[in-house]
Structure 1
Amino acid sequence: MGTKIVWFRRDLRLNDHTALSQAVQDAGEGDRILFIFHIHPELVEEFTIRHDYFFQTVQHLEQKCENIGAPVHFLYGEVDTAFKQLINQILTIDAVYFNYDEVGFGRERDDYMTNWFKDHAITVYSFIDHHIHSAEEIHKQDGSFYKVFSPYYKKWQQVDKPGIRYVDKDKIKHYGMDVRDRFKKGWNKWTSIKEQFEYKGEDTGEEAALNRLDWFLDAAVYDYHKERDFPAIDGTSLMSRFLKTGAISPRTIFHKVKEETDGRKGQQGVDAYIQEIAWRDFYNMIYHFYPNAHDKEMVEKYRGIHWDNDEEALERWKTGQTGYPLIDAAMRQLNKTGWMHNRLRMAVASFLTKDLLLDWRLGERYFKERLVDYDSASNIGGWQWAASTGTDPVPYFRVFNPTRQSERFDPHGRFIKQWIPELEKVEKNDIHEPWKMPDDIQAGAECIIGKDYPAPIVDHKTMRNKAIDRFKKVQD
C-alpha cells in the first residue's frame, strides 16, 4: 500500500499524458494517487499576461480533476522545502511521476529533485512528454547532434513516432486522494493568483486545444504552406499556446494530423505543418546541448559583437512606435493579446538586431514577458536565428527589409490597420511607407507623419549596411 504522486507542470491535461498514464497503470489495490502542482516563488514574482494565461490553464486542469474526484493539491515555496512538507504530511509516498524537462530552469529543477527524491527513498519515474522525440534521440551516425535543421528533419521523419498514451479516468477516480486541508499555504497562494486573473480569452485548457485543432484540420491545414505567412489571414493552427501549457500533447497533434487529413487535398500544407512540429524538437535539442544559449551566442566568434545601447529606440520598438507600420502593428498585437504571428516574429527580431543594432537578448526577454506561448528553446533559437548568431541562422548579410515584408505579407494593409488606427484612412498604396505621402495626402488621410504617426526611427538601407559591416569585422 502506497501513495503515488503525479506532479503536473507544463502538461496541464488528463489525456495522452505519459506520467499520468503510467502512474494510473501502476496503481494497484491499496494504492492512492495524489495530484500535485508546485508554485515556485521565483515564477510568480511578477504577473504578466503570460502568467495569467498559464495559470488560467492550471485552473482548467483543477476543475477537470475536481470533476473526476482527484483534486489538485497546491504546494508553494522552494521546491525541496515544499516537497519536504508533503512527505511529512503523507507518510506513505513511495513514488513520484513527472514529465522531464530537458532544458533551462526545468532541467536544473528535475535533476536536483530526482536526487532529492531518491535520498528520501521515493522512486522516481520520469518521462519524455513535451516533445515527439527527446533531445538525444535524433542524432548523426557518429552519435553527435545535428546543428542544421534539414538533415535533422530528414532523420526525424525516419524515426518511429510514439503513440498516444491512454489514461483510465475510472481508475483515477478510484485511486484519487483528497487531503487539501493539510496544505493551506499552497492553497492560499493559489487563491491569491486566481484573484489576479485578467486574461479574457476563451482559448485556455484541453477542450479549447482540441476544438482549435479540429477547426484547423477541417480545412486550413491544406493551405497552410500558402497562408501561414499572412498575418491578416487566420491560417495557422494556434497550437503553440496549448503546447506551451501542455493542454495538448505534440503526439496528439501529430497523430490527428496524420489520421484526419487527406493528402490528395493538399499534402504540401500538411507536410509544412508536420515540419513545424519537428522544429520544436530541433530547438529543444539545440538548447539542450547549448544550455547557455539564453545568454550566450551559440556561434563563439559572435560573442564579442558590439550591440548599441539606445533605451529610447528599445522602448519605441516595444511599444510599436518605430514608424514602420508592419513592425509597429506586430508589437501592438503582442502587447494587447500576448501573441504574435510567426512571420512577424522574424520581422521584428530582424528589425531590433539589424535595423536598430540592439542586443537580441533584449528582444528575447521582452518576448518572455509578453508571449502566452513562450517556449524558451524555440524563442531563444528563433532570436539567435534572426540575429545570425545561432545554429543554422539566417546569414548576417540577409537582412529583412521591413517595407518589403509589409508589401509582400500584408499587401492591402489589413493587418496594419487592425492594430494601427492612426493609419486607418491611409490608402493601400501608401500604407507600407506612409512617410512618403505628400503633405496634402497626409492631411486627407488624417495622418500627419511626426504628429499622428511617427516618422521612421532609422533609415533601413543605412542600418542594413552598418549591420553587415559590423558582422564583417567579426568575420575578419
Structure 2
Amino acid sequence: MSGVYAVWLRNDLRFHDNQAIYQALRTARETDGSVVLFFHLHPAFTRSIDLHHNYFFQSVKHFQERCDKLGLHIPIFFGDHHEAFTKLTEAYDTLKAVFYQKDYTRFGKERDKEITSFLHNKGIVTYGLKGSHIVQPDELTKSDGTPYHVFTAYFRKWQQQQKPNTVAINLEELKSRYVSHNPQQIQDDTPYFKHHILTYCPHRWTEIGEETARAKLEQFIEEQLATYADSRDQPARSGTSKLSPFIKTGALSPATIFHSVMAHLDAAGKGAETYIKELAWRDFYAMIYHVYPETDKQEYQQKYRQLPWRKEEGDLWQRWITGTTGFPIVDAGMRQLNATGWMHNRLRMITASFLTKDYFIDWRLGDAYFAKKLIDYDIASNVGGWQWVASVGTDAVPYFRVFNPTRQSERFDPQGTFIKQYVPELAQVPVKYSHHPATMSHATQVESACLIGHDYPEPSVDHALQRKKIIAIFKEESL
C-alpha cells in the first residue's frame, strides 16, 4: 500500500532524534511509500512578532534552507487549522498518515484534537509521538495515579524512569523516498513566509539551527559541565549551557542532551548531577501544566487567587520593562532580555521577584512580557517559574522569602561586571557602589560621571518597606 506519509514539523527542527521523521520513514519503507515534511504557519503566531517569534521563524527558515540543499523542500501552509490542512490534503491526494511530535500545551492539545478529527474524517491516520520531553507529562504519577505536587518526590521517581533512546535518521534513504514536486502545483505559502513574515524579523541570529546546537552541546560538556553547579548562578560568567533556545526550537532533543550529559557523569560529577536536575524541572513543570492547564491564567494555589495585584501598566511597569528601576541588577537583567532575547536564569528569578514582590504587579503581566521577548520561552516552565517566585504556584518559594535585589547583586555579581556590561551609566562607578549607586556621595557621583536622578535613576521603591507590605498581604490571604 504505497502512499504519502507526512511529517508535521513543529518545535522539532532537527534530523537527529526526530521521532516523527523516523517513524514516517520506517512506515514508508514498509509500504514502499513516500515521505514529505511540512510546516503549518498559524496566523495566531504572526499577529505580533517580537524577539521570541523572530528567533523561531528564522529557525524555520534556517531548517528549510538546509533541507533545500539536500533536495528536501518543506512546503509551508499558512492559515487556520481547516484552511492549512485543506491545502495539505489537496496537495497530496494519496496522503495516508501524518506524524508529529506531541504538544502538551493548552493551545497545542486543542489544536491537535481539532486537526486529528479533521484528518480522521478524511481517512488519514495521525500519530502523536514522544520527543519534546525526557519523561512525558502524562507518564509519571504517584502510585495512586494522582500527580506529584512537590518536585523532590517527583524527581526521585523521575530518576527511576526508563529514559528514551535517541534515533538516527538515514538522510540518504529520506532523500530517496522524499516527495519531489513542482511548487506551482500545490498551494505552498513559502513565498508569503519569506517575503512577508520574515520582513518583520530583521534580527540576524548567529547561534541557530541543529548543527550549531550540536556544537554548543559538545562545547558545554567539555568546558563548563564540571563547574556548572558552582558557576551557573553568576551572570558575568559563561556558566550556563545556553542550550534552551535550541530546546525551544527543537534543534536539540531533550533526550540527546540527557544522554550526552549522563555519558560524562563520572567525570563532571556534581555539575552533571545539577544539570540533570534542571532537565527534570522542565519535565516537572510540563507535567503540572498538562494536568492543570488553567495555571497559565490563574494561580495554582487557590487561596491566593484573590490577591490584589496591580494590573495597570503604569510608571512602575515601564521602569521594569525598560530597566530603569534604580536597582542595577534588575535593570541589567531586563536590558539583557530586551537586547538579546535571553536572560540568565538567576536574573529571571531576581527580576520576577522584583516585579511581583517589590512592585506587587501581577505575575501574568511579567509572564506575558517574557513570552514576547524570550527566544527560549516555554509556557510551562515560565508559568511555573513565575508562580514559584510569586509564591502562588506548586512547590513555591514561601511568601515571606523576598529576594533582596541588592544582596542578590552583591552575591552573584560581586565585582559589578555584569551590571556594568548592560548598565553603562554605572561603568565608572566604584565597585562598592555598583550594587546601590544611590548611596554615593555627590562628589563620588561627579567623579563617576553618574549623577543619581539624572544619569541613573534613584531607587523607585523602598525594598525593606515593600517587603513588609507584601508579607502582610500574603499573611492576610493565608488566614
TM-score, with structure 1 as normaliser: 0.98
Note the C-alpha offset of 1:30. 4.1
The aligned amino acid for 1:222 is A
> Which of 424, 428, 431 is the matching residue for 2:427?
424
Residue 50 of structure 1 corresponds to 52
The corresponding residue for 1:193 is: 197
Q: Pairwise mapping of residues 75-474 of structure 1 onto structure 2 (< 5 A)?
A: 75-179=77-181, 180-184=183-187, 186-191=189-194, 192-259=196-263, 261=264, 263=266, 265-310=267-312, 311-474=314-477
Residue 71 of structure 1, CA deviation: 1.2
2:357 is paired with a residue of what secondary structure? helix
Asked if the contact 2:43–2:78 (Cα under 8 Å) also holds between the matched residues in 1, the reply is yes
Q: CA deviation at 1:451?
A: 0.4
- 2:297 and 2:197 map into 1 onto residues whose CA distance is 30
Query: Displacement of 1:178 after TM fit?
Result: 2.8
Q: Which runs of 4+ in 1 moved over 4 A?
A: none
> Which has the higher mean CA deviation after the structures are superposed, 368-377 or 21-30?
21-30
1:4 aligns with 2:1: no
Q: Is the 8 A contact 1:206 1:247 kept in 2?
A: yes
Per-residue deviation, 1:237 = 0.5
CA shift for structure 1 position 262: 5.3
Question: Contact 2:329–2:435 (CA<8 Å) still a contact in 1?
Answer: yes
Residue matched to 2:23: 22
SS in 2 for 1:287: helix
- Deviation of 1:190 after TM superposition, in Å, equals 1.2
DSSP-derived class of the 2:200 partner: coil
Letter in 2 for 1:258: M
Post-superposition offset of 1:183: 3.8
Compare 330-339 and 129-138 and name the one that shifted more.
129-138
Q: What is the rounded CA distance, in whole Å, between the counterparts of 2:160 and 2:322 in structure 1?
A: 44
Cα distance between partner residues in 1 of 2:197 and 2:185: 19
Deviation at 1:270, TM superposition (A): 0.5
- State the distance in 2 between where 1:236 and 1:67 align: 33
SS in 1 for 2:203: coil
Whether the aligned pair in 2 keeps the contact of 1:257 and 1:270 (CA below 8 Å) is yes
Aligned to 1:39: 41
C-alpha separation between the residues in 1 aligned to 2:62 and 2:297? 34
Q: Which amino acid is the alignment partner of residue 440 of structure 1?
A: A
Query: Does the residue aligned with 1:292 lie in a helix, a strand or coil?
Result: helix
Q: 1:262 to 1:97 in 2, by over 3 A?
A: closer
Q: Deviations over 1:278-336 (max 9, x none)?
A: 11100100000111111100101111010124511001000000000000000000000
Task: Report the secondary structure of 1:301's partner residue.
Answer: helix
Q: Any idea what SS the aligned residue of 2:294 has?
A: coil
Residue 184 of structure 1: CA displacement?
4.3
Counterparts of 2:43 and 2:392, CA distance in 1: 33
The AA in structure 1 aligned to 2:54 is D
- Whether contact under 8 Å (1:334, 1:371) holds in the other structure is yes
State the SS of the aligned residue for 2:213. helix
The Cα RMSD (Å) is 1.1
1:19-60 residue CA offsets vs partner (Å, 9 max, x unmatched): 111001111364111111010011101111111110111112
**Counterpart in the other structure of 1:62:** 64
Q: Gapped runs of 5+ residues in structure 1?
A: none
Partner Cα distance (1:364, 1:459) in 2:
24
Kindly provide the CA deviation profile for residues 344-400 of structure 1, in whole angstroms up to 9, marking residues without a partner as x. 000000000000010000100000000000000001000000110100001000000
Q: CA deviation at 1:77?
A: 0.6
Deviation of residue 197 (structure 1)?
2.9
